[in-house]
Structure 1
Amino acid sequence: MFLGLNAGGAVLTEEQLIAAEQPSALVKSLEKEGKDPRPDLVAMLKSQRLAVRSKALDALEDMAGNDFGFDPWTDPDKADPGPLLSWEAWLKQPSRAENGGREQDDTRLYSMILTGTEKARESACRALLSRKRQALEFLTGYLEKHPDQDADTERAIRQARFRIQLDEVTPDASLLARKLAGSHRNDIIDALEALRKKPVSTLPVIHEFLDHRDPLVREVAVDVFLQNGEKSAVDHIVPFLERETDENVLQIAFRRASDNEESLPGLEKLLIRHAASESEDLCLAALKSLSEIEKLQTAIDPEQLLKLFRHPEWRIRHQALLYAGKHRIVQPPLDGKLRKARRRSGAALSGPLLRNSCIRAWWKCSGMKTNPCAQRRF
């Protein structure tokens, strides 16, 4: 049996409600005590104090998933009696506590998400938070079963999913969900940036933008995904990077992975592939990341590495030599060819920076800490 007004006293007073920073939290604590605060909250909709009416409506919306058209800003003596009658009729339904913490009208809440106003959808999402997993399963399944939904309905479903997923991550979940579900590039990028350095629970949301049609969105999504997920994110992102064609997206992925050395081994095969890229910037980014991996499982093809030693761009020659020195690349056909590379390529390895790169690489490959003849060898 639940205590309430009919048990001889108010469960909740106006002073308690105004003092509460989060009315919904206060209501849930009362329900855990076996009390039903709904009659008091509905009565407070008639209060002469605006703050009381507003907070009471917020708490009731969380419980019902609807506001029934009630406007807290209207003077209660002049208000339309219709919304209040709707709230009084709602009181006749079993409380959440009597329902074991679950609403019986989920169908109505899902209908509000599909066809309701922005305010109604937000109310429905808040009401569904207590059964987050079931709500997400329904919304995801609905899209899969009805792939031909119009753009507005699809956007509403995606927004509701993002809203529910982000609820425990940020107080701006509603605003970010609306931006992410929209079609404006800047809004999506702003929302993704707002999720940077947030917990790994944000990864399912960010994951949906890894194959976005706009490369600028993909670039930010990849960056934030790797930063938030670190090593755990690599396995999930590799399939997207393998079919990625935008150089900027790939470069930001390689640079971000380099910030966390544990992430790099998972990208090893992809890095080796792009070390042979015709794009100088992409090739350089891949070589730099490969040079930071402590122990390679696979190495650049020796003949390809010799081509890099002779590359017309000095930065690539320099990084290729550092890569060779880092990993002591001495196996045939590179054995003894590191110093021959300069003679074969003439000016391709000229200059003090390249000469020093050759010296450092040769020292590492030969296992020697010092070599007074190294300068002459190169």
Structure 2
Amino acid sequence: MTTAEPSNPVPVDATPGPIYIDTQHEDMVHDAQMDYYGSKLATCSSDRTIKIYNVSENAYELSATIQGGHEGPVWQVSWAHPKFGVLLASCSFDGSVLLHQEVRPREWTVIHAARHLHESSVNGVAFAPHEHGLLVAAASSDGRVSVLQHEAANNTWGVHYLTDCPLGVNAVSWAPWGAFYQADQVEAPRLVTAGCDNQIRFWIYQEGQWTTDSSIVLDVTEVAHKDWVRDVAWAPVLLPNHNMVASCSEDGSVIVWTQVPPANVDGDENTQESFSQWKPTLLHKFDAPVWRVSWSVTGHFLAVSAGDSDVTLWKAGLDGAWSQVSTVDAQSTSQGQ
């Protein structure tokens, strides 16, 4: 059920800096995501609701409250590309993934309810790049990742399952379109997942099935997570075969994995190795668990949300070393409210 909210824009301080929004959730907020245009904000909470806000540089307003769909805490939300309409996916402790669409301004409806999609909590959800079609991946504590695919011909949804980590999967992220390039080949969808076995895993869709991407080799000899990997995020790509993935862990570590471009074989520029190595760089070791990592649109900045109530912003220098450039801490948050 959707509750349309009255239009009462709340002005915000015009001074440059963070904008604080009173979400009006009745319990802990677990995720907040901006849409493609940066004009809508979706939040989800342990109160089992999703709230949609219209936002601008100098005001925000609560547009709708989506409630009654999930039977447990809602962990994460994800916006689809606008070519598919105003579409939002949500995942919950109840093992389900729901797809919500704004059919009219301020009016939302569930267009697909994948209930009991998993046998345990669904911890992460993400839409694929629109070039692959309408696909949404979900990571679950039952150790599997599901990929929902919309069949436009008959308006139905199919599902593929990946058996990932037996201990559970906390997050999933898609490779951006253009992340990998091979002449005369259509780019295959790829995923990276965050597991409760302290590892990240890469997956590729080939010949009608999802398999482990054996072309990616991770160098874990010096830097690795020592506890659950809580989140993983594939950076936007500016050049093919120049990829970065950020992961964060319960142990407080944030690692940036950087692809080493495939080397030429025997000096032949048209022949490359069939695999690529990924080198890890420890961005920082926090004193508290790190829950979320998120890239800027260009992939130049990385936001990190940790258990110390701080959100920090990081940027890599020309030498490859990461440095903190900004922070939003609990003290400033309380002052802003």
Q: Select the structure that is richer in helix.
A: 1
Q: Select the structure that is richer in strand.
A: 2
Asked which structure has the greater CA Rg, the reply is 1
TM-score computed with the length of structure 1 as normaliser: 0.25
TM-score computed with the length of structure 2 as normaliser: 0.27
Q: Relative CO higher for 1 or 2, CA cutoff 8 Å, sep ≥ 6?
A: 2
